């Protein structure tokens, strides 16, 4: 099925509609249009971020605006340059380029001056209350909070204390800077929110220069204004922060950036939170942030996803103003759709069973023609070797087959893809009774493309020539979780890891031509799925990851719904 049928004129998302209208009315110009992607460098980006990237960069691209990349690095404890580098690599891999690379930490001095300006206006104060006391005075959504006893400090005292906070005269938790708004506001975020807290921590960019750090709400919006961001797009949970976002802009009289919200991207059978993904990494449940089962951008890339398929997924899944969960099968379907177009078809046998063709001359080989991609507009072919000994999948042979098993059985026949029809004559066993190999005969006049045998068989199976085959490790990946909503369980989400999410086949047989491809080439191993070479694959130890199966669950579901 096709997802990429969207045309230019088809429905735009609500933000695109809004921006189009604003451009038309002259409220903003193309030159002014500026979005930003503001990751906190405390983990690797996931598919939720990918949607946000596609949205922010996509809008700018569509309407001729620009997008800044801004690292929201105001929390020194959890942040790291490793994350900064991975985030940049991921965005570029997705196919986007930022206009400017900025860091909220570059604005620390300006933010400090903003805070001083608010103190001078009598709109911010230093509070000596402990975190517990502040929480206790906060009130509840239905009852007003109480004013802090420090709320009416003079401007002079506040300026002095805030300077001393900056100078490191106080311990962590001893003092905070708060905005003076309204402890009775029905919006809890307006009840004298914290602007600064003391943290004697080393920052990955500013080092030990600062020991006070701005809170998210006093960094994010201000950074938007400093950069002249016109459309600050964020997820729905920040909707309740918007009055505060606007309050700071109004009181500071800075550039009026505007905030717009959309629903987070959630995907079934996975978790979409850096904090949880970090647990999987730290507890070694997965093999790092880029484990091919991880919903991180680096994980799906290693798995074999293409940037185009992720962009298409973001587009097709769309954005919404309501919380929702996107079907994992849609993600896979978008990948399959792209790989079907571009993947080179080859044959690999993951669980090899040796087949000897007893009527094929020893030492003889022949070259057969195999089409590289039936979907390609320009047909190309490669040669594959055929000889007396080949490998087929163990699963494609059954000695005592039940009814309805149409693959190879003693006395039965199948067609070898691109080659001949073979008949199983004899099963050769080891001393312990296990099958060592099977002996077959081939039908010379049944050659693919020039079949004169008149024999009809029910199955076509894949195979690899034994004398030229290379050995490789094939990793068959499946969903990381075995429940639709791992986050929504009563117990720990880590109790729902799919034990079969990785199956390794260390002795797979592949065509020798596999060495000729670039390592980001996508393959379809006939009947087995789509594959890519793993990043740890070497010429001595080849490793292939299954990106996705061939079976389109999404199409099946859509049909069921009709
Ligand atoms: P997480 O909860 O996974 O840590 P976050 O929101 O804290 O995510 P940030 O680095 O702060 O991560 O996010 C950068 C940008 O990506 C923000 O604008 C945020 O709204 C957006 N974003 C994060 N998660 C999602 C998601 N699941 N769907 C859409 N956008 C997201
Ligand atoms: Mg965050």
Please state the three-class secondary structure of 187-219 as a single string.
CHHHCCCEEEEECCCCECCCECCCCEEECHHHC
Between the CA of 235 and the centroid of ligand 1 the distance, in Å, is 7
Atom of ligand 1 nearest to the CA of 53: 16
Q: Is 40 a catalytic residue?
A: yes
Judge if the beta carbon of residue 311 lies within 6 A of ligand 1.
Answer: no
Cβ neighbours of residue 291 under 8 Å, at least 6 residues apart? 280, 299, 302
60/141 Cα distance (integer angstroms): 38
Q: What is the pLDDT of residue 60?
A: 96
User: One of 40, 157, 437, 484 is an active-site residue; which one?
Assistant: 40
Cβ neighbours of residue 408 under 8 Å, at least 6 residues apart? 392, 396, 397, 398, 414, 422, 424, 438, 440, 459, 461
* Closest Cα to atom 22 of ligand 1: 49
- Among 48, 83, 318, say which to mutate for ligand 1: greatest number of ligand atoms within 8 Å of CB: 48
CA-only gyration radius of the chain, Å: 31
Mean pLDDT by 10 residues, the chain (562 residues): 47 92 96 97 96 97 97 86 94 98 97 98 98 96 96 98 98 98 97 97 93 96 98 96 98 98 97 95 97 98 98 95 95 97 97 98 95 94 96 97 95 97 97 97 96 96 98 97 95 96 98 94 98 97 97 77 67
Between the CA of 133 and the centroid of ligand 2 the distance, in Å, is 25
CB-CB contact of 39 with 89 (8 Å) = no
Q: What is the pLDDT of residue 562?
A: 63
Q: Is 264 a catalytic residue?
A: yes
Torsion over CA: 338, 342, 345, 349 (sign): negative
* Closest Cα to atom 9 of ligand 1: 39
Helix (H/G/I), strand (E/B), else coil: 356: strand
* Closest Cα to atom 27 of ligand 1: 48
Between the CA of 548 and the centroid of ligand 1 the distance, in Å, is 26
The full set of domains in the chain, from first to last, is 14-106+220-334 (3.40.50.620), 108-113+122-214 (3.90.800.10), 346-468 (2.40.240.10)
Q: Cα dist. 332→117, 304, 329 in Å? A: 52, 11, 5
Q: Cα dist. 94→62, 317, 387, 562 in Å? A: 16, 17, 44, 34
Q: Is 556 a catalytic residue?
A: no
DSSP secondary structure letters along 260-307: EEEPPP-BTTS---HHHHHHHHHTTSSSSTT-TTSSBHHHHHHHT--H
Between the CA of 289 and the centroid of ligand 1 the distance, in Å, is 16
A 10 A CB-CB count for 411 gives: 9
Task: Pick the ligand that lies closest to the CA of residue 48.
Answer: 1
CB-CB contact of 230 with 35 (8 Å) = yes
Task: Pick the ligand that lies closest to the CA of residue 39.
Answer: 1
User: One of 66, 153, 265, 274 is an active-site residue; which one?
Assistant: 274
Number of Cα atoms under 13 Å in the Cβ half of residue 549: 9
Atom of ligand 1 nearest to the CA of 56: 18
Taking the model in full, what pTM does it have? 0.93
Q: What is the pLDDT of residue 17?
A: 94
Question: Among all chains, which residue has been given the structure tokens 């940037």?
Answer: 307
Judge if the beta carbon of residue 48 lies within 6 A of ligand 1.
Answer: yes
Judge if the beta carbon of residue 229 lies within 6 A of ligand 1.
Answer: no
DSSP secondary structure letters along 314-333: HHHH---SS---B-HHHHHH
Between the CA of 275 and the centroid of ligand 2 the distance, in Å, is 10
- Taking each continuous run of H as one helix and of E as one strand, the counts in the chain are 13, 25
- Among 15, 39, 49, 313, say which to mutate for ligand 1: greatest number of ligand atoms within 8 Å of CB: 49
Q: What is the pLDDT of residue 10?
A: 60
Judge if the beta carbon of residue 40 lies within 6 A of ligand 1.
Answer: yes
């Amino acid at each position: 099925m096709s997802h990429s049928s969207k045309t230019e004129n088809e429905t735009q998302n609500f933000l695109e509609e809004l921006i189009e209208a604003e451009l038309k009315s002259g409220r903003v110009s193309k030159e002014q249009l500026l979005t930003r992607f503001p990751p906190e460098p405390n983990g690797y980006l996931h598919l939720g971020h990918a949607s946000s990237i596609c949205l922010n960069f996509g809008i700018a691209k569509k309407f001729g605006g620009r997008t800044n990349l801004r690292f929201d690095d105001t929390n020194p404890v959890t942040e790291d340059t490793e994350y900064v580098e991975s985030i940049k690599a991921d965005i570029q891999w997705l196919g986007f380029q930022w206009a400017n690379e900025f860091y909220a930490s570059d604005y620390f001095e300006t933010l400090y001056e903003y805070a001083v300006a608010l103190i001078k206006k009598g709109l911010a104060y230093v509070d000596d209350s402990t975190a517990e006391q502040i929480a206790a005075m906060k009130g509840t959504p239905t009852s007003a909070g109480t004013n802090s006893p420090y709320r009416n400090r003079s401007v002079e005292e506040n300026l002095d204390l805030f300077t001393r906070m900056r100078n490191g005269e106080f311990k962590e938790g001893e003092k905070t800077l708060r905005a003076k708004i309204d402890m009775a506001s029905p919006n809890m975020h307006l009840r004298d929110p914290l602007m600064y807290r003391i943290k004697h921590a080393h920052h990955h960019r500013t080092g030990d220069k600062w020991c006070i750090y701005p809170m998210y709400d006093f960094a994010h919006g201000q950074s938007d204004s400093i950069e002249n961001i016109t459309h600050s797009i964020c997820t729905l949970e920040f909707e309740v922060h918007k009055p505060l976002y606007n309050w700071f802009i109004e009181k500071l009289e800075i550039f009026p950036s505007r905030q717009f919200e959309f629903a987070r991207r959630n995907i079934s059978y996975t978790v979409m939170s850096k904090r949880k993904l970090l647990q999987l990494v730290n507890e070694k449940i997965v093999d790092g942030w880029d484990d091919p089962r991880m919903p991180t951008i680096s994980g799906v890339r290693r798995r074999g996803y293409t940037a185009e398929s992720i962009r298409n997924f973001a587009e097709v899944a769309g954005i919404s103003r309501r919380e929702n969960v996107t079907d994992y099968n849609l993600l896979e379907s978008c990948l399959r759709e792209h790989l079907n177009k571009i993947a080179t078809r080859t044959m690999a046998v993951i669980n090899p069973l040796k087949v000897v063709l007893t009527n094929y001359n020893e030492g003889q080989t022949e070259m057969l023609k195999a089409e590289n991609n039936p979907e390609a507009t320009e047909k190309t072919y490669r040669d594959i070797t055929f000889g007396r000994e080949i490998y087929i999948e163990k699963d494609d042979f059954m000695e005592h087959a039940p009814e309805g098993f149409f693959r190879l059985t003693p006395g039965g026949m199948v067609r070898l893809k691109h080659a001949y029809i073979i008949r199983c004559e004899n099963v050769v066993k080891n001393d312990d009774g296990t099958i060592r190999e099977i002996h077959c005969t081939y039908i010379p006049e049944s050659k693919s493309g020039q079949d004169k045998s008149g024999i009809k068989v029910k199955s076509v199976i894949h195979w690899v020539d034994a004398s030229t085959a290379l050995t490789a490790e094939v990793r068959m990946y499946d969903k990381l979780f075995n429940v639709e909503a791992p986050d929504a369980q009563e117990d720990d989400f880590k109790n729902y890891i799919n034990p079969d999410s990785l199956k390794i086949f260390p002795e797979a047989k592949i065509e020798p031509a596999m060495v000729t491809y670039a390592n980001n080439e996508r393959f379809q191993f006939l009947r087995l799925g789509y594959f890519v070479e793993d990043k740890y694959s070497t010429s001595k130890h080849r490793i292939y990851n299954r990106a996705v199966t061939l079976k389109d669950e999404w199409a099946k579901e859509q049909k069921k719904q009709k």
